Amino acid sequence: MITAGIDIGTNTVRMIVADVIDGKISSIIHQNRSVTRLGEGFIKSGLLREDAIKRTFDSVVKFYYEALSYNPLKVKCCATSAVREAENGHIFTELLRDHGIQIEIIDGETEGRLTALGVMSGLNFRNEPSLIVDIGGGSTELIYWSGRDLYFAKSFKIGVVKLSDMFDFSKPSTEDLLDRVNLYIADFFSDFNFSIEIKNIIATAGTPTTLAAIDMQMENYDYRRVNGYIITKKRLNELISFISSKNIEERKMIKGLEPGREDLIVPGSLILMFLLDRFSKDQLIVSDFGLREGIAIAAAL
């Protein structure tokens, strides 16, 4: 069954058209993505900015009609943290509905469930207890996969766009800045149960996939090479030191760093490092599959 999923995130809009068989992505027919930063400035005002709404609206409309050109049985659109939390999120949804595009605003738990559905469709770790980490622009979902099914999904209101709005990552990061960010991250996750037994940490969304692309010095992003890529804790620390030592213009020259993520990659990497530390793990597995793929699978159910 051919379906399409559109993930309207706080930082990125991602679309996929896929053939879904038995609750898994059998083949990818078409995909696209755009960094629109819908949640830019939200942390200070509680509102979506007009220019951010326009950028994101344009991308969603473009991707929606792109998807329709492949004649899917259904196109399912879901919006996450930024639209969920913004006082004026309804303006964005009404704009799309006026153009015949229905979107579902999903809560953090639903986001976690759909993310797990997507991740487990693309990686062969279904029988192993794993923590799935989805670092978004406005929230981070921690999802515990028991080795048989989804045990729980917990959403935290901390993401890379929010951190970038709070701390200045446009300049080379000082030790003091990194210490302050690390303390802030630790405080956000203070009530999470880190004693659960897991074999793997699987990380999805733009931070881990970009880190994998940087580590492989990828000029053209290839999801096949990224999906399942392993980043050791030692290598992650080296990448953080390398990227954080540069200013935003210098980061634009880093091979594999997606345009628009220059000030977001460091805070996202710090969240990953915190989780590796707390779970005493020496590596993470990167998943290119995530919420977008889960949305497409859900459209077929």
Report pLDDT for 43: 73
The per-residue pLDDT for 149 is: 66
Output the six-digit token pair for 46: 């509680």
Residue 141 and residue 264 in one domain: yes
Cα angle vertex 246, ends 161, 249, to 5°?
A: 75
Confirm whether 119 is domain-assigned: no
Could you give the CA distance from residue 154 to residue 166 in angstroms, rounded to a whole number? 23
What percent of the chain stands above pLDDT 70? 98
Instruction: Return the sign of the alpha-carbon dihedral for residues 262, 264, 270, 271.
Output: negative
Residue 278's alpha-carbon distances to 54, 185, 224, in angstroms, are 40, 12, 29
- Answer whether residue 283 is part of any domain: yes
Within-domain flag for 203 = yes
Last residue of a domain, one of 108, 133, 163: 108
Are residue 159 and residue 20 in the same domain, yes or no?
no
Q: What is the DSSP string of 172-184?
A: PPPHHHHHHHHHH
Asked if 137 and 58 sit in the same domain, the reply is no
Number of structural domains, the chain? 2
Question: 290, 143 in Cβ contact below 8 A?
Answer: no
d(CA 57, CA 76) in angstroms, rounded, equals 16
Tally of CB atoms within 10 A around 222:
12
Beta-carbon contacts of residue 242 (< 8 Å; ≥ 6 apart): none
Output phi, psi for 167, to 5 deg. Answer: -125, 150
**Residues 141, 104: one domain?**
no
Q: Which of 55, 84, 108 is the last residue of a domain?
A: 108
Q: What is the average pLDDT value for the chain, to the nearest integer?
A: 91
- Both 140 and 191 in one domain: the answer is yes
Of 26, 13, 88, 24, the residue nearest 57 (C-alpha): 13
Given 108, 136, 159, which residue is the final one in a domain?
A: 108
| Beta carbons within 10 angstroms of residue 273's beta carbon | 18
CA distances from 230 to 10, 141, 200, 286 (A): 26, 20, 11, 6
Determine the Cα angle at 270 with ends 166 and 141, to 5°. 85
- Nearest 5 degrees, angle CA 159-CA 215-CA 127? 70
Q: What is the CATH number of the domain that holds 49?
A: 3.30.420.40
- The pLDDT value recorded for residue 151 is 66
C-alpha to C-alpha distance for 73 and 118, rounded to whole angstroms: 19
pLDDT tens digits for 142-185? Answer: 998 776 666 678 888 888 988 998 999 989 999 999 999 999 99
Look at the block and give the residue holding tokens 């290598």: 235
Amino acid occupying residue 94:
E
In the chain, the largest separation of any two C-alpha atoms, in whole Å, equals: 53
pLDDT given at position 148: 66
For residues 37 and 260, give the distance between their C-alpha atoms in angstroms, rounded to a whole number.
Answer: 8
If asked whether residues 190 and 99 sit together in one domain, one would say no
Q: What CATH number is associated with residue 216?
A: 3.30.420.150
Block residue for tokens 């594999």 = 256
- So what's the pLDDT on residue 192? 80
What is the amino acid identity at position 103? I
In a domain, 46, yes or no: yes
Query: 216 lies in a domain?
Result: yes
Regions of the chain where pLDDT drops below 70: 125-126, 147-151
* Residue ranges making up the domain that contains 270: 124-291
| Residue 151 CB neighbour total at 10 angstroms | 13
**Predicted model pTM:** 0.87
Question: Do 129 and 206 have their domain in common?
Answer: yes
Q: Does one domain contain both 258 and 204?
A: yes
pLDDT at residue 108 in the model: 81
Q: Are 50 and 166 in a shared domain? A: no
One domain, residues 282 and 145: yes
Q: Is residue 118 part of a domain?
A: no
